[in-house]
Structure 1
Amino acid sequence: MISVLFVCLGNICRSPMAEAVFRHQLKEQGMESIITVDSAGTGDWHIGKQPHEGTRGLLEQYGVSYQGMRARQVRLTDYSDFDYIVCMDSNNERDVRQLFGSKSDGNTKVFKFMNLLPEIKSDDVPDPYYTGNFEEVYQLVNQGCQMLLARIQEEQLIREGV
């Protein structure tokens, strides 16, 4: 089983959107039993809350389920529990690496989401909590999740020696 964790600041906008979109893509590919997905925030302000209404509205518009999703904070055990820890911006990556300590230094399992989209000249997924532009984030997340799935598939083939 392969596991992916998306991380943003409060776990109500970007990371739950990525979690929901990636789950949707996995289901479409018949891969939901092979790859597990979760999301978390570096902050604790929204623990237990549903995704932001802007995120929920956009996911509903695109027919993507967010059922059962509730905000949680990143835990130290996430480092060993997940194969891929995908941070939505530079601050999230810094905070996650600080939490995980020296074991995450230079480790490629922790990386920024926008590394999946090198053709887009931005280090960070904009935070729609502040910008209000949930559509822009959805488009980035949709594209990036497709790239992540392709990356995982390629890495698994390499590991299996195919």
Structure 2
Amino acid sequence: MNTRVLFVCMGNICRSPMAEGVFRHLIRQAGLDEVVKVASAGTHAFHVGEAPDKRAQAVASKRGFDISDLRAARVKEKDFDDFDMILAMDWDNLSLLQQMAPKRNHHKLQLLMRFATEHESATIPDPYYGNAQGFEQVLDYIEDACTGLLEVAKRRATQVAAA
């Protein structure tokens, strides 16, 4: 049994692909890439098929995360069944996911920042209309939350191995 994680923001070109890239990197480093599957999507179809925002790619690359191969996708109805954890970047996207998801899948919906241990913010702000510093801050939050999420993934992998 795998753990399947979907990161969600509005357009899937800034925050959620950065989160996918960071978490994919952490999972690979931890040797869990065979049991943890990672993807990202947007609640809107504005950028479907596009690469992540150049600023997101630059900030991620500077810290050793390559997200250039990712392409924006929109959340699909089957995602609510296919993923174990669907992690929104902010309240607006969490609310949209709650409206989209069948009731039986609402337990899978959470904010990514729930897993953060270093930052107090409940959400990850959208850096799209800001400057490069906004992308740096977003990546700080994402790295923090993904590190906490990795601990959850490790526990789940250990529980599955023991079963």
Tell me the TM-score normalized by structure 2: 0.90
Q: How many residues are matched?
A: 160
Structure 1 CA distance for aligned equivalents of residues 67 and 46 of structure 2: 20
My pick for the range that moved more, 119-128 or 17-26, is 119-128
Shift of 1:152: 2.0
Structure 2 CA distance for aligned equivalents of residues 159 and 61 of structure 1: 35
Structure 1 CA distance for aligned equivalents of residues 105 and 118 of structure 2: 26
Match of 1:95 in 2: 96
Aligned amino acid, residue 28 of structure 2: K
Shift of 1:89: 0.5
Match of 1:127 in 2: 126
Structure 1: runs of 5 or more not aligned: none
Match of 1:60 in 2: 61
The answer (yes or no) to whether the contact 2:57–2:68 under 8 Å persists in 1 is: no
The answer (yes or no) to whether the contact 2:51–2:68 under 8 Å persists in 1 is: no
Q: In the TM superposition, what are the counterparts of 1:134-149 in structure 2 within 5 Å?
A: 134-149=135-150
Shift of 1:160: 5.9
Match of 1:112 in 2: 111
Given the superposition, is the C-alpha separation of residues 44 and 156 from structure 1 closer, same or farther in structure 2, using an over 3 Å criterion?
same
Structure 1 CA distance for aligned equivalents of residues 162 and 32 of structure 2: 20
Structure 2 CA distance for aligned equivalents of residues 103 and 131 of structure 1: 37
Match of 1:32 in 2: 33
Q: Deviations over 1:97-154 (max 9, x none)?
A: 111132234x1x2100111126633221011103331000111111111100101222
Aligned amino acid, residue 103 of structure 2: S
Give the match's secondary structure for 2:129: helix
Tell me the TM-score normalized by structure 1: 0.91
Structure 2 CA distance for aligned equivalents of residues 158 and 61 of structure 1: 35
Structure 1 CA distance for aligned equivalents of residues 115 and 47 of structure 2: 27
Identity of aligned residues (%): 35
Shift of 1:159: 5.8
The answer (yes or no) to whether the contact 2:80–2:102 under 8 Å persists in 1 is: no
Given the superposition, is the C-alpha separation of residues 101 and 118 from structure 1 closer, same or farther in structure 2, using an over 3 Å criterion?
farther
Shift of 1:86: 0.6
